[in-house]
Amino acid sequence: MTGTPEQRPTGTHTAEADAQSRFPIPEGAMLPLLGRRDENLRLLEDLLDADVHVRGNEVTLTGEPADVAFAERVFTELTTLAARGQQVEVATVKRTVAMLSAGTAESPAEVLSFDILSRRGRTIRPKTLNQKHYVDAIDEHTIVFGLGPAGTGKTYLAMAKAVQALQAKQVSRIILTRPAVEAGERLGFLPGTLFDKIDPYLRPLYDALHDMVEPESIPRLMQAGTIEVAPLAYMRGRTLNDAFVVLDEAQNTTPEQMKMFLTRLGFGSQMVVTGDITQVDLPGGQRSGLRVVRDILTGVDDIHFAELTSSDVVRHSLVGDIVDAYERWQNVDDAPGGPRAAVRAGGGSRARDAGH
């Protein structure tokens, strides 16, 4: 159990099937812990099997010994976060309970207070255990693949680590790239220069960058080549030395493009490749390079594959539910006798890599 001695609950067991624990919450941590209009407290009462009673700055837990012990751990972790001045939101409570329920060795308070980058009072940090493992893998490996559905923070965290590495002078430049898979069809119809045409494909990277770097300094850094945002085609023929390179939307690379990108790695550089294999937009039923790369590179030293799931979605809570619903639908669709299986059996032309 974490926290300072005065924060640690001490239980008094009144019977084998009826335990009770009573402990104070530090005054400065009580309001953040309870939440706005006691919303955190109400959620804790729903999520915990132990009965929760708050009076003044004292919390009393009653119930089965195991339930009381678990509830003590939850309150200890949340109190530690609140005492550190962190905002304890409903999502924080849910993630703390989920981490402890999973029986992981890591302390939720340590995971949720691990700072990557701070700017103008805003701090970027992992919000789930898998995100923390992903960030740790970036520190420990030269090439990391971040695989997961939309909203899991895979690109955002990779870019935060890139900016952190640049600020710490671990690299001299950041290169952010994406495949522009629809370029062949649509770019010619867009107005402006080539960069104006490509801009819509790269805009999400610019948006994230503005969250992490002073906006007024971005044009200067880009002009100097310290930060480069470019389509994947611009990587061909280059050797990327002393750089932190992020390839986003990698599910839209072909196997040949993926090989081309990975072999750009130069001395003193690091690569993070992010993508969601359920959202492939390649035309004509082309294979996704992200789908096959794991089979090719598994077992190669200094390459790591980090898996993020719907439980790591940090957008609106509905996003995780939507991801799960689509996954269930796809599993039924792919099952023997399902529509996709029938199309394949009949020699149909439905693209096998089509995203849902």
What pLDDT digit, counting tens, does each position of 94-123 carry?
999 999 998 888 899 999 989 999 877 788
**Beta carbons of 166 and 174 less than 8 angstroms apart:** yes
DSSP reduced 3-state for 212 = helix
Antiparallel, parallel or unpaired: β 143-147 and 270-275:
parallel
Q: 127-322: CATH homologous superfamily?
A: P-loop containing nucleotide triphosphate hydrolases (3.40.50.300)
Q: Report the interhelical angle of 39-47 vs 90-101 (nearest 10°).
A: 20
What's the CA dihedral at 87, 93, 99, 101 to 10 degrees? 160
The predicted-structure confidence for 226-283, as pLDDT tens digits, reads as follows 999 988 988 999 999 999 999 999 999 999 999 999 999 999 999 999 999 988 888 8
Which two structure tokens, joined as six digits, stand for 214? Answer: 């002073």
Written as one letter, the residue type at 333 is D
pLDDT at 180: 77
**Beta carbons of 41 and 34 less than 8 angstroms apart:** yes
Q: How many secondary structure helices (H) and strands (E) does the chain include?
A: 14, 12
Q: What is the pTM of this model?
A: 0.78
Q: What is the mean pLDDT of residues 275-299?
A: 91
**Beta carbons of 341 and 331 less than 8 angstroms apart:** no
Domain-by-domain residue ranges, the chain? 5-112, 127-322
pLDDT at 195: 62
> In angstroms, rounded to a whole number, what is the distance separating the alpha carbons of residues 204 and 77?
34
Contacts of 191 (CB under 8 A, 6+ apart): none
pLDDT at 315 over 80: no
Which two structure tokens, joined as six digits, stand for 198? Answer: 């490509």
> In 3-state terms, the chain is what percent helix, strand and coil (to 5)?
50, 20, 35
DSSP reduced 3-state for 296 = helix
Written as one letter, the residue type at 84 is R
The predicted-structure confidence for 161-197, as pLDDT tens digits, reads as follows 999 999 999 999 999 999 876 544 445 555 566 566 6
pLDDT at 153: 93
Q: Give the residue from 174, 157, 327 showing the smallest Cα distance to 240.
A: 174
pLDDT at 355 over 50: no
The predicted-structure confidence for 123-136, as pLDDT tens digits, reads as follows 899 999 999 999 99
pLDDT at 181: 66
Give the distance, in angstroms, between the CA of residue 181 and the centroid of all CA atoms in the same chain: 24
- Which of the following CATH numbers is that of domain 5-112: 3.30.460.10, 3.40.50.10860, 3.30.390.10, 3.30.1370.10? 3.30.1370.10
> In angstroms, rounded to a whole number, what is the distance separating the alpha carbons of residues 158 and 146?
9
pLDDT at 208 over 50: yes
**Beta carbons of 103 and 66 less than 8 angstroms apart:** no
